[in-house]
Amino acid sequence: MAFFLDSIMRFLLVLFFLEMSTCLFACECIFLPLDDAFRNSDFVGIGTVKKVHAQDPSAKTKKVEFEVSQFFKGVELDQFFFDFDLNNLCMGGDLKEGEKYLMYLDRRFGIYRTNLCLGRHFPVRYEYVMKRELQILQALSETSLKLSDSFRINFYGNDFFTKINKLKIPKTSNEFGIYLVKYYSQSLKEVDTISGFDPTADYLIESAMKRSTWNFEPKYDNEVTFPVTFLIVLDRGYSLDGKLFSISRYDRM
């Protein structure tokens, strides 16, 4: 169960941030779980391809300019550019002016890299991920919550995920739910719905959260003072049978 849940969460793009309004990047393929991608990024936002420059015959790459239209975390950027290698298998296709990308930017090893793998060899999956992740970020940006920290749930030790996988959420409801919970060392006593599926489903989910046994990584339990407030995002999008899976987003308060 843990392996399967972990694998379905590894779908986000990770692009790395340069602390300037105009930046130069190099490309590599890296996929991180949702919570890791957000926590490890200095900037999260939306970039639109502004201009794709003609390729120099003597070079393998061509310059692509991006314009930032919205940001969810970090210092606001106006634009950036990087050298795009059309033959790089990581890319899987050309870029077109006007295309929008959800960007996760961060600095690594003193070099600023950009990941535009985009799952282009899985275009339907990418389009789905882009839309869903953007909806989640939009909902969270409308709250005063600070998404600054994360920790891993030990899926084997938490019966909550077994309980919610038995719930059937109507197809007419929202595709994800965001819940603010207060954790008292293995038990959740307070649950507030930030953005839910529907009233009936949210009631069942909140009840399941409160009745469940929760076990988190020992390192986390040893580092904090309880109670701890954090976020849980549930998304059923990758399940053909309507089951729910956790996309974990957390905030210490």
Report d(CA 31, CA 236) in Å as an integer.
20
Q: What is the DSSP string of 66-80?
A: EEEEEEEESSPP-EE
Between CA 237 and CA 129 the distance in angstroms is 9
Where would I find the H helices in the chain?
2-8, 34-39, 123-141, 160-164, 199-211, 218-223
Highest averaged pLDDT of the listed ranges 35-44, 62-71, 220-229: 62-71
Q: Pick the residue with more confidence: 191 or 247? A: 191
Q: What is the pLDDT of residue 112?
A: 44
pTM more than 0.85 = no
Helix (H, G, I), strand (E, B) or coil at 228: strand
Average pLDDT, the chain: 63
What does the block give as tokens for 41? 């990024």
pLDDT digits (tens, 9 = 90+) for 222-249: 666 677 777 777 776 545 455 555 444 3
pLDDT at 139 over 70: yes
User: Rounded mean pLDDT of 14-24?
Assistant: 28
pLDDT of residue 147: 54
The rounded distance, in Å, linking the Cα atoms of 29 and 248 is 22
Residue 189 or residue 205, greater confidence:
205
**DSSP tag of 166:** T
Share of the chain above pLDDT 70, in %: 45
